[in-house]
Structure 1
C-alpha cells in the first residue's frame, strides 16, 4: 500500500468522489479551510467533485455550499441521487418493502435484541428500542413491520434503506452474520463505529450509483479519484482508477484502496487534491 505522496494518480483526473464522515469532514463534523480551498481549486480546474455518502440528503447542509455547479450528491449509500441546489431527490434505487420485511424477520431470528430504523425518501422512522435520532425529531416510533406496511404494494414512499442496530454484538461480526443470513436478498454494509448495519436493495452501493453518474458524463473509472474510510466505501474505492483510504480507515477500506492518505483530521483528502492540481 502506497502513501498519498507516491501513489499513482490518473493521467487525467476528471472527477473526485469523496465520502464525508470520517473522510472529508473532521471529527467535529466541520470542513477545514484547507479542504474548502482544495474543493474550490478542483472546481476552478474543471474537475467535478461528487460527495458520496451514507447520509440522507437532509443531512447535507454542511457541504451543500461546496457541491459545485452540478449540484448533485449521492446519498444513502447510493440509494438516492440528490440535487442539493434544488433540495430534491432526482433518482432513487429503493429497497422493496416485501424484501425489507423478509430481511427484518430473518435478522430478528438470527440476532435477538436487534432493533430497526426505516429510512424513507421523506425521512427516517424507528423502533422504540432503536437509538433515537435527535436530528429528526418528527420521526414516527413504531415496530419495523408497521413502518414498512403499505396498503397496496408499491403505494408507499420509497424505502432507501433499513438500519439494524445491536447493542451487544461487535460491528464486523454483526455485518458478517447479516450477510450470511440474508445477503442473497439485500446489500449490507456499515459506516458507524457501533454495530449499526445499513441495508439497501440488491446491487445498490456507492460504486454502482457513482458509475452510473460517471457514465452519464462520459467519465471513465480510470479518470476518477475516490476517498473513503469504512466498509460502505469498499466498492467505490475498488472501482475508481485511483483511490485513497484515510489514515483512520477501517482495514477493509485500506485493502480496497490503491493508496493511503492522512487522517480526516489531518486534511487527508485536501493533501491529495493539492497534489492533483499541482500536476495540471
Structure 2
C-alpha cells in the first residue's frame, strides 16, 4: 500500500517509479486534478497531454478523480481516455463526460447535511454554506461567490438560507455540502468539523482556504475508485494514484502505488512512500513516462 505511518523525512529528489519482480504491471492510473495534474494556472501542459496519450496507447486506463463538479471539467475533457469516465465531487458522482451523463451518484442525505451545518454553526460561528447538486451549486447570502450563479435561474439562489437551499432541485442528487469560514486556519477548521460532525458524513478539504467539503458517510475518492476498478477487474495492486491534499488520502491509501506531488499538503507528503515532482514541473507526467518505459 502507498500509506505508511512512520515518520517522514523529505527526499532530496522525487522517488523514481520502481517495479519489483512481484509487482503487477499497472493497469490504471488515478490522478487528482487541481494541484496535482494541472498547473497552477489550471491548464494541462503539453508534456502531460503527451503522457496521458501514451498511457492510453500502452493500454493503461487513466481516471481523473477529483473534487470538481462536472461543469468544471472542460479543462481536461479533451484529454479523457477512451472510456470518457471521471470520478467527481470526491467520489460522490461518476460521470460519462463525453455523453454528459451521470452514471451513478452517492448522495449526502439532506438530514445529515443539516446536522453537519447545525453542529458547525454552533462550534464555529461565521461559517457559511453552499449545496452542490448534480445540477449546480446553491449558496447562502454570505457564502463567497466563486462562480456565476446559474444562468436563467428564476430564483436568486444567493438569498436563500441553508434550509431553503436543500429544498431547491430536490430531484437532483446532493453531492456535497460546502462549508466556508473567512478567517479560520484550514486545518483547524477541518479538525473541528471532524470532532463535532464527523459521524454525519465524510468531511475533508482540498482548498488552501478554510473550505470544507462534506459527502455522504463512507463516500470518498477511494470507495468510488475501488468500485469502478472492481467493475473492470482491476485490483488495487494494479493502480497507481497521485494526489496533493487531504481529500486524496483515502485514495492514496487504497492504491497499490501512491505518489504525492512535491507541492502536496504536509500530511499527504508524510503519508506517502513515493513522491513526484511538483505539479508545475509535470510530476504526474514524469512518473507516467517512467511507467511506460518500464513496460518495454
Where 1:90 maps in the other structure, the secondary structure is: strand
After the TM superposition, which residues 143-222 of structure 1 pair with which residues of structure 2 at under 5 Å, given as runs? Answer: 143-149=161-167, 156-222=171-237
The match for 2:260 among 229, 236, 245 is: 245
| Paired residues of 2:136 and 2:150 also in contact (CA < 8 A) | no
Paired with 1:273 and 1:200, the residues of 2 have a C-alpha distance of: 30
The Cα of 1:144 is off from its aligned counterpart by 1.1
Paired with 2:181 and 2:238, the residues of 1 have a C-alpha distance of: 39
Q: TM-score, normalised by structure 1?
A: 0.95
Matched residue, 1:18: 31
Which string of whole-angstrom CA distances, capped at 9 and with x for unpartnered residues, describes residues 152-208 of structure 1?
Answer: xxx542110000000111000000000000101111000000000000000000000
Where 2:199 maps in the other structure, the secondary structure is: coil
Q: 1:41/1:101 Cα in 2 relative to 1: closer, same or farther (>3 Å)?
A: same
Matched residue, 1:6: 16
Paired with 1:271 and 1:6, the residues of 2 have a C-alpha distance of: 9
Asked if residue 273 in structure 1 is aligned to residue 282 in structure 2, the reply is no
| Paired residues of 1:225 and 1:242 also in contact (CA < 8 A) | yes
Matched residue, 2:104: 91
After the TM superposition, which residues 27-38 of structure 1 pair with which residues of structure 2 at under 5 Å, given as runs? Answer: 27-38=40-51
Paired with 2:147 and 2:200, the residues of 1 have a C-alpha distance of: 31
Where 2:251 maps in the other structure, the secondary structure is: helix
Paired with 2:257 and 2:14, the residues of 1 have a C-alpha distance of: 11
> Please, which moves more after superposition, 182-191 or 253-262?
253-262
> Please, which moves more after superposition, 155-164 or 54-63?
155-164
Where 2:286 maps in the other structure, the secondary structure is: helix
Paired with 2:246 and 2:192, the residues of 1 have a C-alpha distance of: 15
Matched residue, 2:145: 132
Q: TM-score, normalised by structure 2?
A: 0.90
Paired with 1:252 and 1:86, the residues of 2 have a C-alpha distance of: 37
Paired with 2:75 and 2:206, the residues of 1 have a C-alpha distance of: 18
| Paired residues of 1:94 and 1:158 also in contact (CA < 8 A) | yes
Which string of whole-angstrom CA distances, capped at 9 and with x for unpartnered residues, describes residues 210-234 of structure 1?
Answer: 0000000000000000000000000
Paired with 1:89 and 1:127, the residues of 2 have a C-alpha distance of: 26
Matched residue, 1:121: 134
| Paired residues of 1:118 and 1:161 also in contact (CA < 8 A) | yes
The Cα of 1:102 is off from its aligned counterpart by 1.3
Where 1:51 maps in the other structure, the secondary structure is: strand
The Cα of 1:137 is off from its aligned counterpart by 4.5
Where 1:194 maps in the other structure, the secondary structure is: coil
User: Structure 1 regions of 5+ residues with no counterpart?
Assistant: none
Paired with 1:182 and 1:266, the residues of 2 have a C-alpha distance of: 38
Greater RCO structure (CA 8 Å; 6+ sep)? 2
Paired with 1:46 and 1:124, the residues of 2 have a C-alpha distance of: 36
> Please, which moves more after superposition, 250-259 or 82-91?
250-259
User: Structure 2 regions of 5+ residues with no counterpart?
Assistant: 1-7
Paired with 2:262 and 2:294, the residues of 1 have a C-alpha distance of: 23
> Please, which moves more after superposition, 128-137 or 25-34?
128-137
Paired with 2:261 and 2:14, the residues of 1 have a C-alpha distance of: 10
Paired with 1:96 and 1:124, the residues of 2 have a C-alpha distance of: 16
Matched residue, 1:226: 241
The Cα of 1:256 is off from its aligned counterpart by 2.6
Paired with 1:278 and 1:229, the residues of 2 have a C-alpha distance of: 25
| Paired residues of 1:237 and 1:243 also in contact (CA < 8 A) | yes
